[in-house]
Structure 1
């Protein structure tokens, strides 16, 4: 069985061709020096799975099976990718490939190094998910992605990850053919990037043991280089004008933004007022430094949940944040709420919410039927306030489309992976984790629920979809194991929808997914053994 995730677009099994034995030694070889870095990176990705069986690339062919990388368009399908290239190209990169499994190894063909790397991750999955001491069926695979942007957001602002831990997430993303790592670097809870012009932002950012809780400029550059070698673009997020308590703690003299009457009684940290000269100077310095440190073309400016700011001040702030990013040569990305400050063809907005997606109770009876909300302290007064606050989100998508912008799909209903696992799929020994991990006001869901998501379900024209991005915010996390427990097994179906452009067929998909537990164990990654998957 081919257990590859995302599922390749086409696969054929030639008659009478011998299978490939997995147990013997392996090497990774490039026949073109333009693929040398790809071969080295694939070798590193395979080390947790092959160990001492992974030999240097110059090992004689007679002594090892091999993954052979070729820049050769033979049998490679046409690129069929739509959306926005996260690396900044005018057109999406050509990631199409062809792969052949034969008795001597696996041959990967592509027209570009990106395509060769995606083929090699398919080969790595075939090896890692094969039965112990087993074989891989002879096969011909052709494949290409549907969406150019296939991303994952992680949240070191709330749950800091050391650089080595971020690299492990980058490797995981690469194995599932994701190509963007979105770092939510700032929020009320912390500021996680050292900036040369404002060292106060990271002063005191340490834990109880004195361990540093931010990335130095050099560490940030190194993470970008590490990701780039895996054909992943790193995108930083500086979340403004709301979510700014950490910035306010470092720069306490900045005045609050003017607040509307409706904000009274609603808890919030006063957003920033970019019409104030001192605030404008500080934010200008922040974005200039972030843009200068960032290799990729995109910087995320936030724009979400700016509770306690007037419409006029929010409008002015978002417009200025966009202008500052563009002045520094970057293309701004924002959450969908920024559309209320206008949207143009160059704008990329991340769609995450509408009122139905909030799944809030409308009556006391509905609240009484939601023990998860009651346990989190939800009241009808607060539910009504949330419904009112998020009501404008119901029209954000039409604003973005009307203005000519593109949408990055991250619907909270399915792609927010900081969601609890439901009781019916929780094995008894994981009950505590199921109760502890995940945002408490989101309805707990099964693995199948996430896998049911279809990019077409929102009715957004395909040519206006920039891509797909899953998110894992860190309010309930304590470290890497918690993060991967929420990610795995749900990340696979998001990667499949982003690559193929459609929802997985559940019964077939869950059989493939069941083989990936061994891959995660070999990589030392914690996962949730949900009961709606027949784990092997």
Structure 2
């Protein structure tokens, strides 16, 4: 059995003798078709960390090198598997990502009908090479595979913890290696605005008396999208509105406040959401989103629309409808968090499901609260928890609204796919006890990595034709920096990638064995990870 993640079915290679490829020598990536030449250098860059001194250029004359061969093949390369969801590249139909991979005495052949399928095969080949043990032997075999869901994403949060362009490129490489194909960037929030807009320099101009503003210049954002596209990854920028707008309000004074529920201001502090029924405010946001849409190479712009605390339901719904209309006016398709369903849903709407009250896993009694030290430690009280449940109660019906309206649900359940959940201390090796106690959103119940791996997309009982895809998130309210992000992602991102590709949860005993060998992948790439004692990690 190979250690490829997401799981790929394997058979002994036909028409070859039993045996194995001794993969210790030099390697060369070659393209059998001119249309694939443009992908050779990208794949060389992905493979290089795993063959630091054994990866030759295409021009090398070494005839003993193993070949990683890229080739187009009209024959059906994989057994049929329904490809569900929204194509991240905006195509009317999801891309053909099915592939066949063969390990032979000469090397590894990556075969598919499309360049995207060949690229997915090549990432499986890279994993085979990287996860091989000390003997570096790859059994002769044939792998055939195809995805279940077309949208397979990861959201990161530079708004709260800035990630440099170089760090985002490393994340894009990781995303591509595990056959995810969307990078969703949460670029704005109360804590920061990370996207330069030509028409609004005030959002990113230097502060005279505050911290240095970190953001992506126009050139950097375009370059990131180009880098991602070469790896068949679509970048989706999120401009979170009408709530979560503290930084925008500070930079652009005078934006209208949404009408608030009676008595709320006296009970809770909040940043007032925006009111897009105000003509001047709508005009400002139209200009702002015009810049965002013009700078976005892909077909989607995420408008946020979550947690608009401090807006009446009527005001919130009106603002969401205006935001959708503006984004469509500039030729992009809006994506929004599930609260947007309360503004109505049409068949073209994509709604990201992240929460319902049962999923929040909150106590109902003082005794239950006392048994949750992570909640007690952050000062949560039973009255506060009851108020929180009341605020989120409409979330219990959001998915039904999407299905009834004919929209598509992007699955990102907080219970399993919010990877800012703390790791359970009981699974931390001694050298990572501090990280287990520090990282993650403090109010979430700590869990082991088997918990994330147990998630099954089918558990939500949403009709297949109403599922847009799967996306993990890692919000950054309570940690800082690239290493913290990666430790929260790894190893959990691998099981999310498997569920998104295969459409089901992996079988833990079998998956655990494959996952153990991916420590080699991450070590070779210089990526930290949480070495949970649930897994016998390979050296």
TM-score normalised by length of structure 1: 0.98
Q: Which of 109, 127, 130 is equivalent to 2:129?
A: 127
Q: Deviations over 1:225-252 (max 9, x none)?
A: 0000000000000000000001011012
What residue is the counterpart of 1:336 in the other structure?
Answer: 338
How many Å apart are 1:13 and its aligned residue? 5.1
Q: Deviations over 1:191-236 (max 9, x none)?
A: 00000111111123799774x5100011000000000000000000
Q: Structure 1: where are the runs of 5+ without partners?
A: none
Q: Deviations over 1:264-312 (max 9, x none)?
A: 4133210001112221122111110000000100000011000000111
How many Å apart are 1:63 and its aligned residue? 2.5
Q: Which of 422, 425, 436 is equivalent to 1:423?
A: 425
**Contact 1:191 / 1:205 at 8 angstroms: preserved in 2?**
no
Q: Deviations over 1:96-117 (max 9, x none)?
A: 0000001110001000000000
What residue is the counterpart of 1:11 in the other structure?
Answer: 11
Q: Deviations over 1:28-52 (max 9, x none)?
A: 0001111112221111101111012
**Secondary structure at 1:52's aligned position in 2?**
coil
How many Å apart are 1:381 and its aligned residue? 1.5
**Contact 2:2 / 2:10 at 8 angstroms: preserved in 1?**
no
Pick closer, same or farther for the CA change 1:142–1:294 going to 2, 3 Å. Answer: same
**Contact 2:13 / 2:103 at 8 angstroms: preserved in 1?**
no
**1:321 aligns to 2:335 (yes or no):** no
**Secondary structure at 2:124's aligned position in 1?**
helix
Q: Which of 63, 76, 82 is equivalent to 2:84?
A: 82
**Secondary structure at 1:453's aligned position in 2?**
coil
**Contact 1:192 / 1:215 at 8 angstroms: preserved in 2?**
yes
What residue is the counterpart of 1:251 in the other structure?
Answer: 252
- Determine the C-alpha separation between the residues in 1 that align with 2:66 and 2:223: 33
What residue is the counterpart of 2:306 in the other structure?
Answer: 304
How many Å apart are 1:11 and its aligned residue? 3.4
Of 494-503 and 133-142, deviating more is: 133-142
What residue is the counterpart of 1:374 in the other structure?
Answer: 376
**Secondary structure at 1:29's aligned position in 2?**
strand
What residue is the counterpart of 2:180 in the other structure?
Answer: 178
- Determine the C-alpha separation between the residues in 1 that align with 2:75 and 2:247: 54
**Secondary structure at 2:363's aligned position in 1?**
coil
What residue is the counterpart of 2:515 in the other structure?
Answer: 513
How many Å apart are 1:262 and its aligned residue? 5.8
**Aligned residue runs from structure 1 range 18-37, under 5 A:** 18-37=19-38
What residue is the counterpart of 1:56 in the other structure?
Answer: 57
What residue is the counterpart of 2:482 in the other structure?
Answer: 480
Pick closer, same or farther for the CA change 1:379–1:11 going to 2, 3 Å. Answer: farther
**Secondary structure at 2:387's aligned position in 1?**
helix
What residue is the counterpart of 2:413 in the other structure?
Answer: 411
- Determine the C-alpha separation between the residues in 2 that align with 1:341 and 1:391: 16
Of 30-39 and 53-62, deviating more is: 53-62
- Determine the C-alpha separation between the residues in 1 that align with 2:331 and 2:162: 28
**Contact 1:263 / 1:307 at 8 angstroms: preserved in 2?**
no
Of 15-24 and 280-289, deviating more is: 15-24
- Determine the C-alpha separation between the residues in 2 that align with 1:452 and 1:187: 31
Of 255-264 and 125-134, deviating more is: 255-264
Pick closer, same or farther for the CA change 1:394–1:112 going to 2, 3 Å. Answer: same
What residue is the counterpart of 2:279 in the other structure?
Answer: 277
How many Å apart are 1:9 and its aligned residue? 3.7
**Secondary structure at 1:166's aligned position in 2?**
helix
**Secondary structure at 2:535's aligned position in 1?**
coil
How many Å apart are 1:10 and its aligned residue? 4.5
- Determine the C-alpha separation between the residues in 2 that align with 1:349 and 1:225: 26
**Secondary structure at 2:335's aligned position in 1?**
strand
What residue is the counterpart of 2:459 in the other structure?
Answer: 457
How many Å apart are 1:18 and its aligned residue? 2.5
- Determine the C-alpha separation between the residues in 2 that align with 1:458 and 1:471: 18
- Determine the C-alpha separation between the residues in 2 that align with 1:206 and 1:227: 34
How many Å apart are 1:131 and its aligned residue? 0.8
Q: Structure 2: where are the runs of 5+ without partners?
A: none
**1:290 aligns to 2:292 (yes or no):** yes
Q: Deviations over 1:407-459 (max 9, x none)?
A: 00000000000000012211122111111110011110110000000000011
